[in-house]
Each structure stands twice: as C-alpha cells, then as structure tokens.
Chains A and B, each alone.
Chain A
C-alpha cells in the first residue's frame, strides 16, 4: 500500500496535499477500484493532523467522484471506467484556462507549454 506524505511547511494547504496524494496513488494504480481508505479519525491520528482536514479532503474526493464515503467506517475508491464525461472535461478546461493565460502573458510559447505539461505527466506516472 502507498505512503502518504504531508509537508505542513508548504504553501499548499494540507487538505489539498492529501487530496493530491490520494489522486496520484490512483494514477499510479497503488490505489485501485474497491480499495478502502482508513476512517477519517484514524487517518488524522496517524498523520497527526486535524480531523476536519482529512474530512475536507475526503469530501473533495467524493465531489470529484473518486471515492464513496461510508459513514463511520471509511471510504472506498471508486475509479470510473477511464472515460471522462463531458462535464468533467469542461471542469478541467475551466481550471486550466487561467494558468494558460498566465503562461502566455509572461511569454511562454505553445511548444513550451505542451512540453511542460508532458514532463509533469511523466513525472507523475513515474516512481
């Protein structure tokens, strides 16, 4: 099973770091459909972070449709069939847009932007 690492000194909030780590686990298939995540209480105790933080992260993942929360016992990974819906793609496009605008405005070329995205994808899938 995968390790989860949180760095409280980073700018990114702890709940977002946790959400990211679990999503990366799914990408790398360290977490698979049907795997059980620990209860909010025990994950918070093991990580030494606030229960609200873990709860917030679980709800964010639930909203993205990646886990199903079962009260009091934990959460189950629910990966979709690998085909993103129109709505999901729209959401990604909307969140990506401001970053691309920023990249273009500081003078990045189209090639550089796609190259950057590719290298990020590679890094995520590696290790």
Chain B
C-alpha cells in the first residue's frame, strides 16, 4: 500500500518535472527570455527534449530500483516511506540541477546569437483592468475561520469530554497511533493549526490580489485575459482547499471528542478522499492553465517588444524574482506552475514564514 502511494506520487512528480519546459510560456525557456521569432528554434527544441529525457530516464531507473529494493528485502512501512521520500527529493534535486545546466546553455545561446538586441523592455497595463479582476474578496475566507472559531469555543465547553491522551497521529488503518497528554493547548492544537492555515490562505489571497496584474506586451489582449483567469482560479483553489482542510480537521477533532461517532472505515476514508480531491484539484488547475497558455500563445504577434515583467535582470537564475521597484508581493512563476514571492518585498516573507513558525511552535509545545 505505502509503496503504491509513493510510486504514484513520484510518477506524478516526474511527469510534471519532465513536462515543465512544454507547460510554460514559449518565450521564456529555462528562465531565459527569447524573441518570439525564436520559439521554434531547433537548438531550443533539442534542449527541451534533452532536459525531459534526462529527467525521465534516471527517474525511471530510480523507481524500478526502489520497487525491487522494497520487494526483495521485506521492508517495514516506515522504511518504505523514508526510501520513497529520499528518492523523491533526489529526483527534485536532479531536475533542479538540470534546470540550471540548461539555464546556462540558454544564456550562452542568447549571448551568442545577440538576441538581446531584438528584445525591448516594455512595461504595460490597462487602466480599467482592476475592475475586471475576479479574485474573491478577503471576507469570503472568513467563512471557514468563523466555523473554526465556533468549533474551538464548542470544544472548550466540552473540555471534560476530551480523553486524557490526545491523538496526534493517525495510521493508515484510520486508528490513532500516537498520543500526547491532555492540556488546554494540546486539546485544541489541531484547531489552532487549522486557524493559522486559514489565516495564511486569507492573507495569501489578499496579497495576490494586491499584486500586479501582469500583461505581456507581445499579446496584450490574450495575456490580460489569461492573467485575469489565472487569478480567479487561484483564488477559488485557495478557498476550496481551505474549506477541504477545515472539514478534515473538524472531523478528526469530532472523533477525539466522541470516540465512536464515525466508523473506522469513515475515519480511514475521509482523509484519503480529501487529500485526493485537493490533488485532483491541483491537477485540473494545471491543465486549465496549460489550455490558457495555448490560447494565449495562439494570438502571439510578431513584435520586437517584450514586457519588462519578462526582464531577465529581475529573475535571479531565472527562478527567483527580486524587484525592489515592484510593490507586488507575489508574481507568476516563469518555470513551473503557480506563484512565487517577490523576494525584494519583506511582506511576502512575513505571510509565508510567520504561519510556518507558529505551526512549528505549536507542535513543539505539545
């Protein structure tokens, strides 16, 4: 069972890592901006294919080796998990190294062919674009928070019902297998962590909403529509994930309060269903984005212009966005799906790292 979970997780990761150069915008290859005319350059296509093959082949060998290792040695479940995690991180590290290798190759290719001269820095926006933004307002994210606070108060009034040993970890069978002593904090620590996560979703949503709606000068109209949809989907994804986690944690807290409220099957199934739906949601989100990218690229015009958002100088190693002038907190990733921090803006660090610190602190106090 563990082996299947790990192998499918690793296969999904390998798939996305290998497909990455084909999922992202064609004008930014391995974090290097290229002129529109060059998107079908044979040398670049070779680089992309070589990258994918170099990700896939060693990963497949690794997966097969992992499978044989655990089948031949009759290994314990936790060792299977450790082995799987090591393999996963090895693959991530390997693809990151390959990324940097091809990033360097692309920089050299760009310098060699003097593509710099064909690229013009243009910052562009539309005056009325903010009115078309469909990101959810911050107060929608209050709904799960209010439910959690209410449940927190309810748990406090039912404190006497909590068992002397509070479960902190559930095994695959759905039975709790690790416990901690009952204290006012450990009794509700799961709800507190939930609260921190919900507040994190709320602030990430607000920060993304405040961040720039980036339009590309190459294809103003299509890239604008794409950005607006991207922001809308992101916002909904955050909200639905926040709600899904809330349902999961509250159900677990209920099983602590009332021992036999749900059958063991249900306690076993619900976390899997919720985790799976978040995963499927993430995959659907990626597929939708991929379609958006294709739609946007169809309209690409052959101009020499390029938006300054593409400006390579602000992207360290093509991966890290560092722009002191830009008040944006989050910007869309150039290699990969999702958002990344503007590392020049300290507010971003606060939003991402403070909640993590609080969660770590809470688990230490336990």
Contacts and interface: CB of A to CB of B under 8 A. Distances in A.
Q: Do A and B come from one complex?
A: yes
A41 B210 contact: yes
A106 to B, nearest CB: 30
Contact of A3 (B124, B210, B325, B326): B124
Contacts of A60: none
Contacts, number: 84
Contact of A49 (B120, B214, B220, B326): B326
Given A48-B325, A48-B328, A5 B122 contact: yes
Interface in B312-333: 323-328
Interface in B273-332: 308-309, 323-328
Interface in B116-142: 120-130
A8 B309 CA distance: 12
Contacts of A51: 327
Nearest to B224: A3
A37 interface: yes
Contacts of A53: 325
Nearest to A1: B128
B24 interface: no
A2 B124 CA distance: 11
Given A8-B308, A45-B327, A38 B130 contact: yes
Contact of B327 (A5, A6, A8, A44): A44
A64 to B, nearest CB: 18
B126 A1 contact: yes
B181 to A, nearest CB: 48
Contacts of B324: 50
B217 interface: yes
Interface string A2-15: 11111111000000
Contact of B121 (A9, A31, A46, A50): A9
A25 B126 CA distance: 11
B91 interface: no
B164 to A, nearest CB: 52
A94 to B, nearest CB: 30
B130 A8 contact: no
A47 interface: yes
Contacts of B127: 1-4, 25, 31, 35, 37-38
Interface string B210-221: 111111010010
A42 interface: yes
Interface in A58-98: none
A7 B220 contact: no
A5 B323 CA distance: 19
Contacts of B326: 44-45, 48-49
Of residues A3, A44, A50, A53, which shows the largest number of chain B Cβ atoms within 10 Å of its Cβ?
Answer: A3
A8 B323 CA distance: 14
Nearest to A49: B325
Contact of A5 (B124, B128, B210): B124
A43 B125 CA distance: 8
Nearest to A45: B212
B108 to A, nearest CB: 24
Interface of A: 1-9, 25, 31, 35, 37-38, 41-51, 53
12 contacts: A1-B127, A2-B126, A5-B122, A7-B121, A8-B123, A35-B127, A38-B127, A38-B129, A45-B211, A48-B123, A48-B323, A49-B325
Given A4-B124, A38-B127, A49-B326, 9 more contacts: A6-B122, A7-B123, A38-B129, A45-B211, A45-B212, A46-B212, A47-B125, A48-B308, A48-B323
